Chains A and B, each alone.
Chain A
Amino acid sequence: MKTKLIIATIASLFATSTLAAPKTIQIGLDGLVCAFCAQGVEKKMKAQAATDKVFVSLDKKIAVVSLKDGKDIPDATIKAEITDAGYVVKSIARSDDAFDVVTKKIKDSK
């Protein structure tokens, strides 16, 4: 019984960690050189139902998307939306870090 309980606990912890939705998505981009570029990317990503906030850094060539609780945006959708905005996705990374934490790190790393 004890063994079963331990296995169930470990299994539930594992399941929680794999099912936990990310808080932010960081999208590496090529072609970002001006405010128009940033506006285009920002507008496309803000239009997503799962998006809460968007931050774009021309310096780091990155867009950070804050996700609504429990929501996510599939990679294929991100690539399609960015391509539709006229830019190229170089990388996509998800993080459990809060939006403010991620954007502060980006701003501080200038």
Chain B
Amino acid sequence: MKFLTSKATFLCIAIGILWTIPPYAHAKPIAFADSWTFMHERESDMLETSLYYAPTYWFSFGPTVSISRSAENGIRREANIFHTNFLLKRWNMHNAQANVFATIGAGRVKTIVSPTSMPAQPGQTVANMSQPINRTENTRHATIQGDYETRQFYTSVKFDAHQASSFLDRTDMMQIGVSPYAHDYEDLAIWFVAQVKKKRGLNDETEGGAFVRLFKKNIWLEVGMTEGRRSQIMLMINY
């Protein structure tokens, strides 16, 4: 941080970036032993809130409420899932740490199909065409993710699958982040992160994005934007 006058300067730059390129995230599902983690994530086609408790450093559990939708075909999913998160393996190195996490969840999902997006079916009348089609069913969710980080470099990959009898939504993601200075515990950590995300199912697209991560003590905030100029934001609080 010697090349800048102060960390406040960097904060100003970060805030400036937030204004010029609106905002995503990918955080660890287990912070530390005997901790609570609140996560809220918002994208243009997704909203998700989780609350996890970790009795140990390798396991956490808790509920997640999410809403996702397809901009193209008018399908919206509302899911309530109970998640269990496992740290399968951690490598503690002198200047780095690497982890492999797995998440398994189960719950209920309601899929709502907008009538305007559906082609008329045989026998369907104008009256019943105006009704949205709702379907509620059991759902399963599984994620595996790996990360490697030092105090100035971060990379992660994540494979996510959300399944029910009527659909399979998948998201694969990779992130690379750099920090302009090696932060300490008391410092504000600033990261610039690039991301590529491939979605299949509800939305079929591959999209890049960039965001800024601000991290101090128990608060983690990420804001950024995809190449389609869709904003993304994530807030995580641990205590």
Chain A residues in contact with chain B, CB under 8 A?
Answer: 30-40, 43-44, 56-59, 61, 84-88, 90, 110
Assess whether A35 is in contact with B90, with CB atoms less than 8 Å apart.
Answer: no
Assess whether A59 is in contact with B184, with CB atoms less than 8 Å apart.
Answer: yes
Assess whether A61 is in contact with B151, with CB atoms less than 8 Å apart.
Answer: no
26 residue pairs from A and B, CB less than 8 Å apart: A30-B92, A30-B93, A31-B93, A31-B96, A34-B97, A34-B151, A34-B189, A35-B189, A35-B216, A36-B238, A37-B97, A38-B185, A39-B32, A40-B31, A40-B32, A40-B35, A40-B57, A43-B33, A57-B184, A57-B185, A58-B183, A59-B182, A61-B94, A84-B33, A84-B56, A86-B90
- Report Cα–Cα, A56/B144, bound state, in Å: 30
B1-46 with Cβ < 8 A to chain A:
28, 31-35
Chain B residues in contact with chain A, CB under 8 A?
Answer: 28, 31-35, 56-58, 87, 90-97, 149-151, 182-185, 189, 215-218, 238
Which residues of B are found within 8 Å of A84, using beta-carbon distances?
Answer: 33, 56-57
Excluding A44-B33, A86-B58, 12 further A-B contacts by CB distance (< 8 Å) are: A33-B95, A35-B215, A36-B31, A38-B185, A39-B238, A40-B32, A43-B35, A56-B185, A58-B182, A61-B94, A86-B32, A86-B33
Which residues of B are found within 8 Å of A56, using beta-carbon distances?
Answer: 185
- Report Cα–Cα, A56/B184, bound state, in Å: 9
Which residues of B are found within 8 Å of A87, using beta-carbon distances?
Answer: 92
Which residues of B are found within 8 Å of A37, using beta-carbon distances?
Answer: 32, 97
**Count of chain A to chain B residue pairs whose CB atoms are closer than 8 Å in the complex:** 79
Assess whether B34 is in contact with A58, with CB atoms less than 8 Å apart.
Answer: no
Assess whether A58 is in contact with B184, with CB atoms less than 8 Å apart.
Answer: yes
Which residues of B are found within 8 Å of A36, using beta-carbon distances?
Answer: 28, 31-32, 238
Q: How far is the CB of A33 from chain B (nearest CB, A)?
A: 5
Which residues of A are found within 8 Å of B35, using beta-carbon distances?
Answer: 39-40, 43
Q: How far is the CB of B37 from chain A (nearest CB, A)?
A: 9
Assess whether B217 is in contact with A35, with CB atoms less than 8 Å apart.
Answer: yes
Which listed residue, B58, B91, B150, B217, touches A39 by the CB 8 Å rule? B217
- Report Cα–Cα, A86/B96, bound state, in Å: 13
Q: Which of A32, A33, A56, A61 gathers most chain B CB within 10 Å?
A: A33
- Report Cα–Cα, A36/B56, bound state, in Å: 13
Assess whether A31 is in contact with B92, with CB atoms less than 8 Å apart.
Answer: yes
Which residues of B are found within 8 Å of A110, using beta-carbon distances?
Answer: 184
- Report Cα–Cα, A110/B95, bound state, in Å: 16
Q: Which 8 A-B pairs have the closest CB atoms?
A: A31-B92, A40-B32, A86-B57, A38-B185, A30-B92, A88-B92, A31-B97, A36-B31
Assess whether A34 is in contact with B184, with CB atoms less than 8 Å apart.
Answer: no
- Report Cα–Cα, A18/B216, bound state, in Å: 42
Which residues of A are found within 8 Å of B183, using beta-carbon distances?
Answer: 58
Which residues of A are found within 8 Å of B182, using beta-carbon distances?
Answer: 58-59
